Structure 1
Amino acid sequence: MTLPELAVTDDRLAALLATDEDLRRLFDGDWIRYRTSPALQELTWAAHSTCATINRIYYDDPAGAQRLFRELVPGAGSGIDFRPPISIDYGMLLTIGDRTFINTDFLIIGGGQVTIGADCLIGPRCGIYTPNHAQDISRRLEGWELPEPVVIGNNVWLGGSVTITPGVTIGDNSIIGAGSVVTKDIPANVIAVGNPCRPIQPIPDQSPSRPDRPTSGA
């Protein structure tokens, strides 16, 4: 059986954990070497294969696509709505809260734990990157990388093409403007924009009826 055809079950994951040190390191939040780890490569190939199937059948078999999505992401809550394509490296390390909407071209790369709260709005072409490669030349050549967790609070709105880098937390209710690159924590209840992304104002008590300039979009 080739790697894309593998369906990684809980039993299979347990077997991989028993034989692969890098997979154990991943779950411990330690440095890993993806390029030399058969288990990590097997898991990501299986996840990518599932994503490819979801993307292919989404409009012809929406119930089947939802079923595969929930198999891929056991930590998904109820009422989650998404649009293909999606690409996720490790579904078992992803948690998504109830009623969150994920627009097209959603990408999660690397093995860091990713937590997305309830009632979030994820704009198109958003990417969450969790691995940091070693900076020193020798360890980078050896393939060492450190996956770091990303946390997105409840009722967060990410505008289109937002990039979130490893180790970042975004607080509840905040808005991240389109095209922003989030390199540091963003507090709750703010509008934040830019590269690097910074808070520019608190969330207003009431939205204007006709904003002069949308802050996020999508």
Structure 2
Amino acid sequence: MEALQKIVPGELYDANYDPQILEIRRQAKIKIHEINHLSPAEGEKRESMIRELFGSVGKNLVIESPFYCDYGPNIHIGDDVAINHNLVILDGAEVRIGNSVFIAPNVGLYTAGHPIDVERRSKGLEFASPIIIEDYVWIGGGVSIVPGVTIKKGSVIAAGSVVIRDIPEGVVAGGNPCKVIRKITDEDKKTTNFIKRQ
């Protein structure tokens, strides 16, 4: 969409007063409202509407209602992704979710942020930076991910974490701010205590 090209990653743009951007958001909210109020029996219609809303969607997507986003076209989801209730995506910039990703309930992916100074913030200005979630990541319930973060392949983010920086491949990370707790090892294949509290 042409108006979304006004949103350049890392640069300020008018999110609250630009009529074209506001209209794209309004149209997205109308579609999302309809999707979230479909009966579970209307699975094919729901999937079709999600595919029309998002930039790209792979095979075997499970996304439970309700979910919310700002625009839709900036969202790209791979194959075999399972997303539980109450996902919120502020997709001023691209959000890329890889293959075989699990996202628990009440997760927020926030590409958008605001200037810290009152003068610019009060004018409705904000910025957006992409979020990338690579293949085989598991994001626990209630996690918040801020602009510009990449979570590398195979990592696990513990419930309630606030992810403010990149997370490396193959680790368990958690906390506020989210930090690496340990590497995932072969020993993890032998236990049912998936995330040991530290």
TM value normalised by structure 1: 0.85
Question: What's 1:144 paired with?
Answer: 125
Question: What's 1:45 paired with?
Answer: 26
Please report how far the alpha carbon of residue 25 of structure 1 lies from its aligned counterpart in structure 2 after TM superposition: 2.2
Deviation string for 1:142-194 (max 9, x for gaps)? 12111111011100000111110111110000000000000111001000010
**Matching residue's letter, 2:75:** L
Question: What's 1:194 paired with?
Answer: 175
2:173 aligned with 1:209, yes or no? no
Counterparts of 2:171 and 2:60 in 1: how far apart (Å)? Answer: 26
Contact 1:164 1:183 in 2 (8 A): yes
Q: Structure 1: which 5+ residue stretches go unaligned?
A: 1-12, 18-22
The secondary structure found in structure 1 opposite 2:96 is strand
Question: What's 2:66 paired with?
Answer: 85
TM value normalised by structure 2: 0.93
Contact 2:72 2:91 in 1 (8 A): no
Question: What's 1:171 paired with?
Answer: 152
Contact 1:25 1:31 in 2 (8 A): no
Counterparts of 1:88 and 1:143 in 2: how far apart (Å)? Answer: 19
Q: Which has the higher helix share?
A: 1
Which range is displaced more, 180-189 or 40-49? 40-49
Counterparts of 1:164 and 1:74 in 2: how far apart (Å)? Answer: 20
Deviation string for 1:103-138 (max 9, x for gaps)? 111110240211111100000111111112011221
Counterparts of 1:197 and 1:132 in 2: how far apart (Å)? Answer: 18
Contact 1:75 1:95 in 2 (8 A): yes
Counterparts of 1:63 and 1:151 in 2: how far apart (Å)? Answer: 28
Aligned residues: 195
Contact 1:109 1:129 in 2 (8 A): yes
The CA RMSD measured in Å over matched residues stands at: 1.6
Select which of 32, 36, 43 maps to 1:62.
Answer: 43
Contact 1:85 1:105 in 2 (8 A): yes
Counterparts of 1:64 and 1:215 in 2: how far apart (Å)? Answer: 41
**Equivalence map 1:4-153=2 (5 Å):** 13-14=1-2, 17=3, 23-26=4-7, 28-29=8-9, 30-153=11-134
Runs of 4+ in 1 over 2 A off after TM superposition: 206-210, 213-216
Counterparts of 1:75 and 1:210 in 2: how far apart (Å)? Answer: 35
Contact 2:93 2:111 in 1 (8 A): yes
